[in-house]
Structure 1
Amino acid sequence: MTREELNAILQKEGNYKAFEYKGYKCRILRMGEGMDPEYRMFHLCGYVLLTKEDRCYGKEYDTIPYTIHGGFTYSSHRLHNQPEEGWRIGFDCAHACDISLPYQLNSELSSAVYRTMDYVEEELKRLVDQIVADRG
């Protein structure tokens, strides 16, 4: 994938998506806006807002038993310093197998894949399905 192709995808997708699935609030955010250009990666992160009734409410991300792309990398009652009602868990698409803007032309990462907004949405839905099944 060339830089131009990736930039076209980034422009088309936008930086934010909110949706609800099976009663759970889900958010997708692109990292990098407002950051020092040297540190911008522009990868996507996905989050699901849990309620107190959910088994993983209040748990640290490294103890969450569900499966998600690359594993969980986030758990908090805040999302980017904004307090919320509930407990947010999430993951990112900035792993060795993922394309992040500064690294996509690195020959060592030629097999890396850009994780699209649609991909992250499907991962979040799969996560919600696991949460719902866990609740019985």
Structure 2
Amino acid sequence: MNEDEAKARLQQLRDALARREEKPVPRVQAYSGVDSDDAARKEASALASGDLEAEAAKKEHSRTERFRDHVAIAILIVFWAGFLSLSVLAVLWFINFIIPPEKAILTSSQSERIISFLTGGGLTSFVANYAKKRLT
């Protein structure tokens, strides 16, 4: 691009800027203060009367109780999943026990592992203690 072309291009840009319409910038209202804000007035009156702390304590208690309820539900789901799994194992072992040995679905080592798991003292104690705690 030579010098004359550059000057012509610069003049085109200047003409385009001169033709451009300028849009006015909208004015923003200045903040008029707390007196016009109802929410701030309500919060200030609640803080002054002590209701804000009581409301915060109630909400914290509600969150804590909701969390405890969720934990109790999760524990209950785990308990019933374990109970269902143990029941399936017991039924599987019992079926394997009553059918003839040539039609057995479990090997003898698998059967021994299931029975030792089902009759294990720790597992039985855990289930019994949990059931006792929840039922009484």
TM-score, normalization by structure 2: 0.23
TM-score, normalization by structure 1: 0.23
Asked which structure has the greater CA Rg, the reply is 2
Greater relative CO (CA pairs within 8 A, separation 6+): 1
Greater percentage in strand: 1
